[in-house]
Amino acid sequence: MKSWPTTSIPKVAKAIKPLTIYSTEQQGLVEFPIKSRYQMYVCGITPYDATHLGHAATYLTFDLIHRFWLAQGASVNFIQNITDIDDPLLERANRDGVDWKDLAHSQIDLFRSDMEMLRILPPTHYEGAVDAIPDVVEAIATLDEKGAVYDIDADKYFAVHSDENFGGESHLSHDEMMTIFAERGGDPKRNGKRDPLDALLWLAHRDGDPYWPSRYGNGRPGWHIECAAIALKFAEPSQDYVIDIQGGGKDLIFPHHEMSASQVKVLTGKKFAKAYVHAALIGLDGEKMSKSKGNLVFVSKLIETGVQPMAIRWALLKRPYCKEYMWQRNETTVAQQELDALAAKLSRSQIPPTESLIAQIYNLLADDLKSDQAIAEINSWVASQGSGGNAQALRDVIDALLGVVLPA
Residue number with CB closer to Zn ion (227 or 322): 227
How far is 184 from 203, CA to CA, in rounded Å?
17
70, 227, 259, 358: residue in contact with Zn ion (rule CB under 5 A): 227
Residue number with CB closer to Zn ion (237 or 353): 237
- Number of residues interacting with Zn ion: please give it, by CB under 5 A: 2
Q: How far apart are CB 260 and Zn ion at their closest, in Å?
A: 6
- With beta carbons less than 8 A apart as the criterion, state whether 25 and 169 touch: yes
104 part of the interface to Zn ion, by CB under 5 A:
no
Amino acid 348 reads R
Closest of 68, 120, 56 to residue 319, by C-alpha: 56
Per CB under 5 A, which region of 13-21, 153-161, 182-190, 220-228 contacts Zn ion? 220-228
Q: Is the dihedral of CA 221, 216, 133, 90 positive or negative?
A: negative
Residue number with CB closer to Zn ion (157 or 276): 276
Q: How far apart are CB 158 and Zn ion at their closest, in Å?
A: 15
β-pair partners for 202: 156, 221
The DSSP line for 73-125 is T-EEEEEEEE--SSHHHHHHHHHHT--HHHHHHHHHHHHHHHHHHTTPPPPSE
How far is 372 from 105, CA to CA, in rounded Å?
34
Residue number with CB closer to Zn ion (271 or 395): 271
CA-based R_g, the chain, Å: 22
43, 140, 335, 357: residue in contact with Zn ion (rule CB under 5 A): 43
Amino acid 190 reads R
Q: How far apart are CB 342 and Zn ion at their closest, in Å?
A: 36
Antiparallel, parallel or unpaired: β 28-32 and 125-128: unpaired
Residue number with CB closer to Zn ion (79 or 317): 79
How far is 226 from 133, CA to CA, in rounded Å?
8
Q: How far apart are CB 256 and Zn ion at their closest, in Å?
A: 5
Q: How far apart are CB 95 and Zn ion at their closest, in Å?
A: 24
Per CB under 5 A, which region of 98-106, 127-135, 223-231, 359-367 contacts Zn ion? 223-231
Per CB under 5 A, which region of 53-61, 225-233, 275-283, 358-366 contacts Zn ion? 225-233
Per CB under 5 A, which region of 35-43, 203-211, 330-338, 354-362 contacts Zn ion? 35-43
Per CB under 5 A, which region of 101-109, 207-215, 224-232, 302-310 contacts Zn ion? 224-232
Residue number with CB closer to Zn ion (85 or 317): 85
Helix (H) or strand (E) holding 263: helix 258-268
Binding site for Zn ion (CB under 5 A): 43, 227
